């Protein structure tokens, strides 16, 4: 596995003589496992062709803000956000100034304005341009906004002068990118198990007992843990959610299958049980479809399913160091959550209100309370991916702070 496996990089190539080096950068990024999408500006296309950049990235190269085809395939907002990191190389004086001003005059600058992702720039320009008070002030502003900078280096410049302004070596740009992801991966080397979605308990070959869990929250948590570097196994019931990137997924239908999959995924450092597991299953599902008028249709004989969260929380060698459960309740959410934490023996509970009108089941927002042995945090209503990111950060801090 490459060090940048599953990382998505949006590479913006403006027009500068060093643009040709972006081909080598793209090649090395892909070699390290990253997925690279490129935006080539009009000026950039004077130095490298969309064809060569496309061949190296293995993806369509984007350049025209107003191309309807491009907009149909992918809006510029999506292009700007479906990345883990945006890299501008070579960052010309012109694009740096546009970034400072917040101009959106072409696809590259629009993506830079629209992105909510970290941005790394590799400046390259003539030494006078680099040393000009305007560029100095622009760099100060960009650094102040949290933009990362690699280079420029010193030496012979394409214009014949000598000094600071050379694009950083491709190896150094790559090292900066790898370093950025490593710093953001506090859970590297840790293993995580996440359960998600509902379970379906068969009644007969076509019917089942299920529930309305969408898997949105569980899938987002698996993605957030993987994002922080954890080797994550997601065990999911039937859901319509797409598979999160960078996660190993095991699909199951019943609670018994989920329990077996969890056991198989052990050992793990952290387990987050988000699935809405059916409490009951039909004792003897019919082998053939039950007919409307046939016998035995009025009653379903149910048996209790194993409590997977309680089982994995039991002390023993295989117990993950941190076990987190979910408590979905309609009243006394925190008190019931705390009682559930103790009853099930898990370490933390994320308690949420699923009463009618909360819109949690299948909805995109969640209001949760993080219940830990030393107290409860009430989190504001957040989108489910934001809840996931905050939980993943809390898990990472737990392991970083643990002796
Ligand atoms: N859970 C589990 N296995 C089960 C039932 C629940 O792993 N058979 C886990 C869920 O994934 C969740 C937590 O237990 O993390 C709480 O589930 P919940 O349905 O709220 O609680 P119940 O145990 O069903 O209790 P009650 O029905 O009394 O609310």
What would the pLDDT profile of 156-201 be if each residue is shown by its tens digit?
877 778 888 999 999 999 999 999 988 888 898 999 999 999 999 9
In the predicted model, what is the mean pLDDT of residues 88-108? 97
pTM over 0.75: no
Q: Looking at the structure, tell me whether residues 195 and 178 fall in a common domain.
A: no
Nearest to 152 by CA among 166, 138, 140, 171: 166
Q: Which of 183, 217, 238 is the last residue of a domain?
A: 183
Ligand 1 center to 218 CA (angstroms): 14
Q: Looking at the structure, tell me whether residues 113 and 200 fall in a common domain.
A: no
In the predicted model, what is the mean pLDDT of residues 120-145? 97
CB 279 less than 6 A from any atom of ligand 1: yes
Ligand 1 center to 51 CA (angstroms): 54
Residue located via tokens 């990137």: 245
Ligand 1 center to 212 CA (angstroms): 14
156 within a domain of the structure (yes/no): yes
Please tell me which residue in 134, 143, 159, 318 is annotated as part of the active site.
159
In the predicted model, what is the mean pLDDT of residues 199-212? 96
In the predicted model, what is the mean pLDDT of residues 236-258? 96
Asked if residues 308 and 222 have their Cβ atoms less than 8 Å apart, the reply is no
Asked if residues 219 and 236 have their Cβ atoms less than 8 Å apart, the reply is yes
| pLDDT band of 356, cuts 50, 70, 90 | low
Asked if the model's pLDDT at residue 370 lies above 70, the reply is yes
348 within a domain of the structure (yes/no): yes
CB 312 less than 6 A from any atom of ligand 1: no
CB 308 less than 6 A from any atom of ligand 1: yes
In the predicted model, what is the mean pLDDT of residues 148-153? 96
Asked if residues 112 and 99 have their Cβ atoms less than 8 Å apart, the reply is yes
Q: Looking at the structure, tell me whether residues 172 and 205 fall in a common domain.
A: no
Q: Provide the total of helices (H) and of strands (E) in the chain, helices listed first.
A: 14, 22
Q: For the chain, how many structural domains are there in total? A: 2
Q: Which domain holds residue 114?
A: 8-183
Q: Which of 151, 183, 215 is the last residue of a domain?
A: 183
Q: Looking at the structure, tell me whether residues 208 and 310 fall in a common domain.
A: yes
In the predicted model, what is the mean pLDDT of residues 110-126? 95
Judge whether 346 counts as a catalytic residue: no
Q: Looking at the structure, tell me whether residues 206 and 108 fall in a common domain.
A: no
Rg (CA), the chain: 26
What mean pLDDT is reported for the chain? 92
Name which residue sits closest to atom 20 of ligand 1, judged by CA. 327
In the predicted model, what is the mean pLDDT of residues 191-219? 96
Asked if the model's pLDDT at residue 69 lies above 90, the reply is no
């Amino acid at each position: 596995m490459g060090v940048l496996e599953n990382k998505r990089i949006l590479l913006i190539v403006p027009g500068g003589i060093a643009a040709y080096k972006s081909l080598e950068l793209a090649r090395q990024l892909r070699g390290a496992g990253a997925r690279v999408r490129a935006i080539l500006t009009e000026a950039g296309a004077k130095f490298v062709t969309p064809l060569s950049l496309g061949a190296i990235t293995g993806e369509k190269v984007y350049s025209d803000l107003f191309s309807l085809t491009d907009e149909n395939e992918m809006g510029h907002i999506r292009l700007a956000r479906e990345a883990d990191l945006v890299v501008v190389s070579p960052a010309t004086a012109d694009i740096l100034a546009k970034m400072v001003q917040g101009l959106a005059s072409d696809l590259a600058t629009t993506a830079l304005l629209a992105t909510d992702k970290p941005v790394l720039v590799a400046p390259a320009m003539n030494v006078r341009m680099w040393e000009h008070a305007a560029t100095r002030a622009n760099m100060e502003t960009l650094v102040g906004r949290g933009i990362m900078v690699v280079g420029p280096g010193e030496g012979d410049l394409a214009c014949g002068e000598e000094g600071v302004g050379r694009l950083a070596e491709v190896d150094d740009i790559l090292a900066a990118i790898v370093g950025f992801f490593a710093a953001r991966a506090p859970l590297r080397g840790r293993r995580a198990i996440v359960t998600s979605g509902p379970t379906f308990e068969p009644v007969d070959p076509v019917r089942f007992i299920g529930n309305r869990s969408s898997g949105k929250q569980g899938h987002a948590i698996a993605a957030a843990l993987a994002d922080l570097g954890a080797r994550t196994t997601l065990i999911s019931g039937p859901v319509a959610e797409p598979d999160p990137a960078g996660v190993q997924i095991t699909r199951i239908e019943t609670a018994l299958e989920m329990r077996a999959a969890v056991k198989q995924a052990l050992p793990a450092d952290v387990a987050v049980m988000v699935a809405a597991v059916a409490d009951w299953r039909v004792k003897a599902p019919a082998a053939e479809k039950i007919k409307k008028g046939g016998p035995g249709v009025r009653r379903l004989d149910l048996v209790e399913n194993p409590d997977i969260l309680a089982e994995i929380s039991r002390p023993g060698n295989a117990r993950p160091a941190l076990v987190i459960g979910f408590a979905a309740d309609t009243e006394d959410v925190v008190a019931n959550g705390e009682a559930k934490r103790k009853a099930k023996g898990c370490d933390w509970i994320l308690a949420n209100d699923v009463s009618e009108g909360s819109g949690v089941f299948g909805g995109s927002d969640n209001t949760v309370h993080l219940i830990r042995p030393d107290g409860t945090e009430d989190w504001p209503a957040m989108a489910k991916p934001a809840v996931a990111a905050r939980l993943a950060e809390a898990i990472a801090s737990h392991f970083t702070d643990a002796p």
